[in-house]
């Protein structure tokens, strides 16, 4: 468990103990921002990212982007892993149109030189992407579409596009695996009331959190607070017995999560709930 000390100045998260469950390579920026706002950041990555079982298949698809009208990236991890597997110079010359499920994924693509990238405005997720004019049945019927994702990703996007007449192919560019961590100290801290709220950004991450900390932690995990990134994840929280309704962030980017943490504090700390 990594712990980041709060800054000396007061801020909107002053004194709040926040557990960040993002993968190791994604959590540092959020942790630093929590500290700048007066909070204490604890880190327990609940997902590790590994190469797919068949990276050759993913490389072949990413080398053939001209075969697709649209290429859709479903997460920042999908972007990062795809960039590592593709010939970026060749991919930038592709005729395919690039799309992303959220702002973080789109920004990562644009930073790598892919522009413009179509994404939903003001929200994130498969549902928001599917509402865009570019993905309506009259636009995608008969079109070859490549969805870049992790192994076993959510089926909604691909299934819906197939129902709308698109020819969908998946490039699975990574695997999510359970990390090898020792959560004993964190479990003890949580059982003693030392964690106020937990940031979780995927359903698998939520399940892994409970699995990593074990049966003895279920009680306090159900009683603590949560910031999540979708209504679907809030529903999963309720299924796991989490008692207080999570605060749903507008997106998975750091600014959206920080805003949601501020709302969580106002809702459950400042109000005395």
Which domains can be identified in the chain, with CATH numbers?
A: 2-47+179-270 (3.40.50.10090), 50-176 (3.40.50.10090)
Cross-strand bridge partners of residue 182: none
In the chain, pLDDT over 70 holds for what percent of residues? 96
Note the pLDDT of residue 3.
52
Band of the pLDDT at 130, cuts 50, 70, 90?
Answer: very high
Rounded Cα distance between 58 and 72, Å, is: 14
pLDDT at 6 over 50: no
Note the pLDDT of residue 28.
87
Band of the pLDDT at 181, cuts 50, 70, 90?
Answer: confident
How far is the CA of 263 from the CAs of 20, 34, 35, 250, in angstroms?
Answer: 16, 14, 17, 12
Largest CA distance in the chain: 58
pLDDT at 1 over 70: no
Q: What is the mean pLDDT of the chain?
A: 91
Cβ neighbours, 10 Å, residue 143? 17
pLDDT at 246 over 80: yes
The model scores a pTM over 0.85: no
* β strands within 66-177, DSSP E: 70-73, 97-100, 117-118, 144-150, 167-177
């Amino acid at each position: 468990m990594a712990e980041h000390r709060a800054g000396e100045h007061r801020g909107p998260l002053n004194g709040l103990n926040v557990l960040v469950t993002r993968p190791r390579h994604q959590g540092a920026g959020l942790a630093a921002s929590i500290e700048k706002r007066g909070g204490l950041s604890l880190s327990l990555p609940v997902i590790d990212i590994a190469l797919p079982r068949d990276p050759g298949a993913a490389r072949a698809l990413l080398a053939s982007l001209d075969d697709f009208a649209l290429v859709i990236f479903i997460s920042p991890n999908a972007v990062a892993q795809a960039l590592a597997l593709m010939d970026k110079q060749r991919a930038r010359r592709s005729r395919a149109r690039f799309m992303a499920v959220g702002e973080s994924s789109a920004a990562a693509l644009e930073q790598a030189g892919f522009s413009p990238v179509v994404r939903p405005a003001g929200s994130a997720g498969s549902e928001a992407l599917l509402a865009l004019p570019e993905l309506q049945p009259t636009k995608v019927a008969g079109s070859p579409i490549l969805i870049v994702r992790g192994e076993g990703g959510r089926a909604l996007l691909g299934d819906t596009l197939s129902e709308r007449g698109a020819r969908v192919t998946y490039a699975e560019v990574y695997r999510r695996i359970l990390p090898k961590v020792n959560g004993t100290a964190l479990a003890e801290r949580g059982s003693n009331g030392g964690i106020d709220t937990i940031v979780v950004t995927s359903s698998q991450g939520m399940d892994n959190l409970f699995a990593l900390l074990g049966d003895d932690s279920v009680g306090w995990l159900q009683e603590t607070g949560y910031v999540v990134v979708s209504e679907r994840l809030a529903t999963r929280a309720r299924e796991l017995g989490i008692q207080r309704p999570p605060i749903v962030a507008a997106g998975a980017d750091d600014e959206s999560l920080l805003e949601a943490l501020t709302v969580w504090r106002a809702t459950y700390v400042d109000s005395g709930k």
